[in-house]
Amino acid sequence: MQKKVIPELNPNVSVDCVIFGFDLDKLTVLLIDRGQQTQGGPRLALPGNLIYNDENLDQAANRILNELAGINNIYLEQVGAFGDPNRICKEADKEWLQSIRAEPEARVITVAYYSLVKMADYAPRASSFAKTAGWAPVTQIFELAFDHYEILQVAKDKLRQKIKIQPIGFNLLPEKFTLSQLHKLYESILEKPLDKRNFRRKVQKLGIVTPLKEKQQGVPHKPSRLYKFNEEKYEALSKNGYDNFDF
Amino acid sequence: MQKKVIPELNPNVSVDCVIFGFDLDKLTVLLIDRGQQTQGGPRLALPGNLIYNDENLDQAANRILNELAGINNIYLEQVGAFGDPNRICKEADKEWLQSIRAEPEARVITVAYYSLVKMADYAPRASSFAKTAGWAPVTQIFELAFDHYEILQVAKDKLRQKIKIQPIGFNLLPEKFTLSQLHKLYESILEKPLDKRNFRRKVQKLGIVTPLKEKQQGVPHKPSRLYKFNEEKYEALSKNGYDNFDF
DNA sequence: TTTGAAAGTGTATAAATGACACGAAGTTAC
DNA sequence: GTAACTTCGTGTCATTTATACACTTTCAAA
């Protein structure tokens, strides 16, 4: 006695995505603008929506990113599940749900994901209920819809943990980059200054970057050497992690 | 126009708990036995069940642990959300759900938690739909209900990550313990041998253990000195982590 | 009293970390 | 064209940390 399963939205489970980018100077995150609510309240939100009953969570995240920001098929890592019964408490959020959901009062648990992408590859386009989508520097975000601000903080923590175990940057930087840019990337994720010389030494010893013969052009100061990632070394370290610190 | 919210089970979201213990020799995990199904298939499962709509996820986990194993109010960390549409695929699992759920066919996303407890403090008692509850060595578990085996593996990974950043043992060992027991605990979590002398040196330099004047009794060999945890140092390291490796 | 079994201890080598300052190479403004 | 500005790029030393490794001690049991 099987029920026939018709693909349908699950009213109780959503997915939200924290997509990090890097503008060569600071860490940014992709947000959608849901427009002004009559109640006021935050306009900006993480891209996210309810899942369908026939898709798994990763698939849902990728579908939603596509629908809301035109981003396709990227690798996502889970941040965690957020299920406070009061996570939908702001009036502006309730008003907004009235306009987009069939069951706006339903209890919703959300599963958050994060990812790192090259900003240049994903000029986000508005669509669906996102009036616009765009990149905002993480340091300039102070409130978001629902519990999205909290989710962002947890995602930043996860990223900060990850950076200690795996190399980061391949998915955030253009193909050719300078060590200063990589340095700034690490500083903006870790939110603290790192010694320039020690940073360079470490990166080079790890062997994840290869110097090119080219140099930066059009900068009003000494041009920097360009590097690319050494994919084999980078991959190896991504898989195995920095295996330091085995207790 | 508020709907009145009557506390009710959410048919789409469950919580499962991976409770680790340590029998002074190997890592164990708390499982419930749901009894023989007519279809055969695994009898053992992680303690877990659907959540209520008026409780958050952590509360749900604690409630369920209490109901299924008589464990109260412990600190839990999230493993992640598991939402494959086919995670309920074994015939034995479907049969079991028929017997305990109002909507046995519903799509269920589960949020997994893990925790570390002193086995002696929680002689698990059977109750609710758990015929019995008990501790099983993690190395002797080869299949479980639903996707619980996969959840267990991910929980083990999380624990292995955690141990590199924070001290572990306070919640797993009795008040007085030997360094060999702590050593074995680390080896069973990391699943590899650690050099005895280096381990002892490191633990003692961290300052998380304090030697007692007492020694082990009734062992058929040289008795070991007993230690207790230095709570301040342990707490400090739990909060701040081993701040090594700031890139 | 011998045997077995785990406890407990030290050193030397190699590697990683962290702190620190200045000349070089370009552009821009005058 | 020269001075001023900005970022690039580099090395050393002291300290700490990691790793590899073997033998004596202490107790209970046979």
Of B163, B185, B216, the last residue of a domain is B163
Scanning the structure block, which residue is given the tokens 């409630």?
Answer: B63
A152 domain residue, yes or no = yes
Q: Report if residue A3 sits inside a domain.
A: no
Range of the domain at B207: 177-240
- Rounded, the Å distance between the CA of A224 and C1' of D10 is 14
> Does any domain span residue B4?
no
Residue A172 within any structural domain of the chain: no
Q: Compute the distance between CA of residue B93 and CA of residue B64 in angstroms, rounded to an integer.
A: 19
> What is the CATH classification number for the domain harbouring A207?
1.10.10.10
Give tens-digit pLDDT for A98-152: 999 999 999 999 999 999 999 988 876 656 666 688 999 999 999 999 999 999 9
Q: How far is CA B1 from the centre of its chain?
A: 43
Query: Do both B233 and B141 map to the same domain?
Result: no
What pLDDT does residue B21 have? 97
- CA separation for the pair A100, B149 (Å, rounded): 38
Q: How many domains does chain A have?
A: 2
Q: Is the CB of B223 under 7 A from strand D?
A: yes
| Tens-digit pLDDT profile for residues B230-243 | 999 999 999 887 75
**Which of A53, A57, A107 is facing B81, going by the closest CB pair?**
A57
A218 Cβ within 7 A of any nucleic strand D atom: no
Would you give per-residue pLDDT tens digits along chain A (247 residues)? 444 556 799 999 999 999 999 999 999 999 999 988 888 889 999 999 999 999 999 999 999 999 999 899 999 999 999 999 999 999 999 999 999 999 999 999 999 999 999 998 887 665 666 668 899 999 999 999 999 999 999 999 999 999 988 999 999 999 999 999 999 999 999 999 999 999 999 999 999 999 999 999 989 999 999 999 999 999 999 988 775 444 5
Q: Which of B111, B161, B244 sits opposite A81 (nearest CB)?
A: B111
Decide the pairing of beta strands B48-52 and A209-215: unpaired
Same domain for B144 and B122: yes
CA-nearest of A6, A7, A5, A9 to A100 is A9
- Residue A72 located in a structural domain: yes
Chain A residue numbers with beta carbons less than 8 Å from the beta carbon of B108 are none
Q: Which nucleotides of D are covered by protein (CB under 7 A)?
A: 5-12, 17-22, 25-29
Is the CB atom of residue A222 positioned under 7 angstroms from any atom of strand D? yes
Q: Provide the 3-class DSSP secondary structure of residue B73.
A: coil
Does residue B133 contact residue B31 with C-beta atoms inside 8 Å?
yes
* Pair of tokens at residue A92: 């502006």
From edge to edge, which strands make up the β-sheet containing B225-229? Answer: B177-178, B225-229, B209-215
Q: Assign residue B27 the CATH number of its domain.
A: 3.90.79.10
Q: Which residues of A touch B202 (CB under 8 A)?
A: 247
Same structural domain, B130 and B154: yes
Residues B52, B172: Cα–Cα separation, whole Å: 30
- Rounded to whole angstroms, the Cα distance separating A76 from A74 reads 6
pLDDT at position B3 is 47
* Residues of chain A found within 8 Å of residue B244, distances taken between Cβ atoms: 244-245
Instruction: Tell whether B104 and B138 lie within a shared domain.
Output: yes
Q: Among A133, A163, A193, which residue terminates a domain?
A: A163
A110 shares a domain with A214: no
A48 and A126 housed in the same domain = yes
Length of chain B: 247
Among B57, B78, B109, the residue with its CB nearest the CB of A13 is: B109
Q: What percent of chain B has pLDDT over 70?
A: 92
Query: How many Å lie between the alpha carbon of A234 and the closest alpha carbon of chain B?
Result: 15
pLDDT band at B56 (very low <50, low <70, confident <90, very high): very high
Regarding whether A157 and A42 lie in a shared domain, the answer is yes
B118 and B235 in a single domain? The answer is no
Q: Which residues contact A193 (CB under 8 A, 6 or more apart)?
A: A187
Q: How confident is the model at residue B125 (pLDDT cuts 50, 70, 90)?
A: low
Q: Tell me, what's the pLDDT at A129?
A: 64
Per the domain annotation, does B53 fall within a domain?
Answer: yes
Footprint of strand C on the protein (CB under 7 A): A 195-198, 201-202, 205, 215, 219-223, 244; B 178-180, 196-198, 200-201, 215, 220-225, 244-246
Same domain, B133 and B199: no
- Asked if B37 and B96 count as a contact pair (C-beta separation under 8 A), the reply is yes
Residue A58 domain-assigned? yes
Distance CA A228, CA A216 (A): 13
Q: Are residues A41 and A118 in the same domain?
A: yes
Closest CA to A80 of B16, B83, B111: B111
Phi, psi of A126 (to 5 degrees): -75, 150
CB spacing of B3 vs A78 below 8 angstroms:
no
Is B14 a domain residue? yes
Return the SS3 of A71.
coil
Distance CA A8, CA A51 (A): 8
Give helix B179-190 / helix B196-206 axis angle, nearest 10°: 110
Tell me the Cα Rg of chain A: 20
**Band (B49; pLDDT cuts 50, 70, 90):** very high
Residue A63 sits in the same domain as residue A116: yes
**Nearest protein residue to nucleotide D5, judged by CA and C1' positions:** A221
**A17 and A116 both lie in a single domain:** yes
Strand B225-229 to B177-178 pairing: antiparallel
Residue that terminates a domain, selected from B138, B163, B188: B163
Cβ distance A85 to B55 less than 8 Å, yes or no, reads yes
Residues of A in contact with B80 (CB under 8 A): 78, 80-81
Q: Straight-line distance from CA A195 to C1' C17, in Å?
A: 12
- Tell me how many degrees the CA angle A227-A229-A233 measures, rounded to the nearest 5: 135
Find the closest chain B residue to A108 by CA distance.
B53
**pLDDT at position B165:** 87
Nearest to B27 by CA among B95, B97, B116: B116
DSSP B87-155: SS--HHHHHHHHHH-SSTTS--EEEEEEEE--GGG-----BTTBSEEEEEEGGG----STTHHHHHHHH
- Answer for A223: CB within 7 Å of strand D: yes
